[in-house]
Structure 1
Amino acid sequence: MEYVPCMAQPVKTARPQTSTQRLKMRRQLAAAAMELFATRGYAATTVDDIAAAAGVARRTFFRHFRSKEEAIFPDHDDTLVRAEAVLEAAPAHENPIDTVCRGIKEVMKMYAAAPAVSVERYKLTREVPALREREIASVARYERLFTRYLLARFDEDSHNGDEPLLAEVAASAVVTAHNHVLRRWLRRDGQGDVEAELDHAFEIVRHTFATVPALARRGAPQVAAVPAAAPATAPPVVTSAQGDVLVAVARTDAPLSEVMRTIKEALTDRP
């Protein structure tokens, strides 16, 4: 018998999915899950049912989601990444509160991109406690991201150890304002100028935290008391005992209370 050598065949490996392909599959699974939850009911729907309705294997489902509860929120992971990118790319002079407001807008964009789907998902989360808990967990991820960002904007011991509290409260205020507007929009079946409503809500948050120096110092620089002869770029200093003129430099959008406080401190601290 003649021996014929065989060439080894290359092993075929699955190509890694691109982020676009991954998101497409996640949305496909989410659409199947929502349809089944609406027709069969949440409790009667299994992961196998969702995978079959989407035309994929069970293992494919678990490559994208850990549970059926997670399946109807396909975009939160990618949205969280986009929100973080907004924070990382923020201009150095921007008010940190403004930066966080821009970051949370990525969440609103996610919902506004598919209003009909968002409305149906909202209805489901109101009816199924497990889905409501999953939604709350998603919201908490954004709050943690924004809290870390705001805390990094504080100077060390700038508020006698209360910096973590202030950062968490401010981050929670932004997220709460966003969610309040979002829920009203969803209850109106996705109708109305949600962007204008969101901007109005953020103005309320900005006004509330305008007097917290560590959070306001970037967007509305603190007033600097400088000698009359000093150039505009000079660092903040207080006039000497011999000086008889005090010049305060402030942006027109600086809060009046902050302007008056800084002037008072400059005059009080003079020798």
Structure 2
Amino acid sequence: MEYVQVMPQPADPSRRPLRAGSVPDATESAAGSKAAAQRLKMRRELAAAAMELFATKGYEATTVDEIAAAAGVARRTFFRHFRSKEEAIFPDHDDTLVRAEAVLNAAPPHEHPLDTVCRGIKEVMRMYASAPSVSVERYRLTREVPTLREREIASVARYERLFTRYLLGHFDERDHHDGNDDPLLAEVAASAVVTAHNHVLRRWLRGGGQGDVEAQLDHAFAIVRDTFGSGIGAGRKAGHTTAAVVDAPVAARAEGEVLVAVARTDAPLSEVMRTIEKALKEA
């Protein structure tokens, strides 16, 4: 069994079709981008007002009316952007989820799906790293207020579902036979990527948002890839490989001053390079 590139989803039929030879209206596109930016700006302003009130008055004592007033908007404006006051403390998660999904949808055809997921979740880390002081204060609040903590857990679960669906989409979950653990590994690997991200994020937040968090994340992802990357795809049927002697997608060993590498023809280039680099270090 091999992983396959998932084709893009068909266009939304509700969108207005373009006439032959026509191009999208640049004015409409610019207006849409401006509206999205204004929406995000307002969400962040409401979130900042909410966080300040939560910190000074306490979460339970703060009302939606007070948050709206502090942000200089009406109550109905608040509810156009958030369904509740606890939701207001996470203004960027919806947009970040969209960006993460865009990374998955635009993945190059020969990239290992696990590498794609690691790139996708970096959008979440960049969201936190874009405003360290806000992220640190939000972390403090979520530790103190159980309701906010539950909201945060629900947000993390959305990312995990997205990445799990993506990985499982590259493997046939119905293809059950002895030795084929791809569906299991895909699901476990998605959880491992999210867990690694959250571990690095918590450590960074506890340290006051200092340090190169992306480098720390790359280190954590390397561990996940070494643990799961070579396992996914190893249980394919014998008829799907041209080298039956290979027990894993890629194998490499040093023989004196020569490095010998054996890989299936469908092994991702990134995985081949990682295996060779590891063998060189151990030689």
Q: TM-score, normalised by structure 2?
A: 0.71
Bigger relative CO (Cα 8 Å, ≥ 6 apart): 2
Question: Post-superposition, which runs of at least 4 consecutive aligned residues in structure 1 deviate over 6 A?
Answer: none
Equivalent residue for 1:70, pick from 71, 75, 87: 87
Q: Please state if 1:192 is matched with 2:211.
A: yes
1:57 is matched with: 74
Task: Letter of the 2:196 partner, please give it.
Answer: A
The question of whether the paired residues in 2 share the 8 Å contact of 1:185 and 1:191 is answered with: yes
1:158, distance to aligned residue in structure 2 (A): 3.9
Paired residues of 1:96 and 1:215 also in contact (CA < 8 A): no
In the superposition, relative to structure 1, how do residues 88 and 215 fare at CA in structure 2: closer, same or farther (>3 Å)?
farther
For 1:45, the equivalent position in structure 2 comes to 62
Which residue is 1:129 aligned to?
Answer: 146
Deviation at 1:214, TM superposition (A): 3.0
Match of 1:213 in 2: 232
Partner of residue 279, structure 2: none
Identity of aligned residues (%): 76
Quote the residue 1:157 is aligned against.
Answer: 174
Cα 1:249/1:34, change in 2 over 3 Å: closer
1:92 alignment partner, one of 109, 119, 142: 109
Distance 1:191 1:47, change over 3 A: same
Measured against aligned partners, the alpha-carbon deviations of 1:209-230 in whole angstroms (never above 9, x if no partner) come to 133233899xxxx97449xxxx
88, 102, 106: which one pairs with 2:123?
A: 106
Gaps of 5+ in 2: 1-30, 245-260, 277-283
Tell me by how many angstroms 1:255 deviates. Answer: 4.3
Q: Is the 8 A contact 1:83 1:103 kept in 2?
A: yes
SS across alignment from 1:190: coil
User: Which residue does 2:27 correspond to in 1?
Assistant: none
For the pair 1:174 / 2:183, whether they are aligned, the reply is no
> Which amino acid in the other structure matches residue 208 of structure 1?
T
In our comparison, the structure showing a higher alpha carbon Rg is: 1
Give the superposition deviation at 1:253. Answer: 2.7
Q: Secondary structure at the residue paired with 1:192? A: coil
Residue 249 of structure 1: CA displacement? Answer: 5.3
Residue 39 of structure 2 is aligned to residue 22 of structure 1: yes
Measured in 1, the distance between the counterparts of 2:188 and 2:66 equals: 42
Task: Calculate the aligned-residue CA RMSD, in Å.
Answer: 2.8
Following the alignment from structure 2 to structure 1, what is the Cα–Cα distance between the partners of residues 164 and 119?
A: 14
1:169 to partner: Cα distance:
1.3
TM-score, length basis structure 1: 0.74
* Match in the other structure for 1:201: 220
SS in 2 for 1:50: helix
C-alpha distance after superposition, 1:20-43 (max 9, x if no partner): 000000000000000000000000
In the aligned structure 1, how far is the partner of 2:165 from the partner of 2:154?
17
The residue type paired with residue 51 of structure 1 is A
Secondary structure, counterpart of 2:229 in structure 1: coil
CA distance in 2, matches of 1:115, 1:215: 41
Structure 2 partner of 1:81: 98
Q: Which of 165, 172, 192 is residue 148 of structure 1 equivalent to?
A: 165
2:273 corresponds to: 253
When residues 56 and 126 of structure 1 are mapped into structure 2, their CA distance, relative to the original with a 3 A threshold, is same
Task: Give the drift of 1:170.
Answer: 1.1
The 3-state SS of whatever aligns with 2:140 is helix
- Look up the equivalent residue of 2:156 and give its one-letter code: V
AA paired with 1:192? G
C-alpha separation in 1, matches of 2:263 and 2:147: 55
> Distance in 2 between the 1:137 and 1:249 partners?
40
C-alpha separation between the residues in 2 aligned to 1:170 and 1:254? 17
Cα offset for 1:248? 5.5
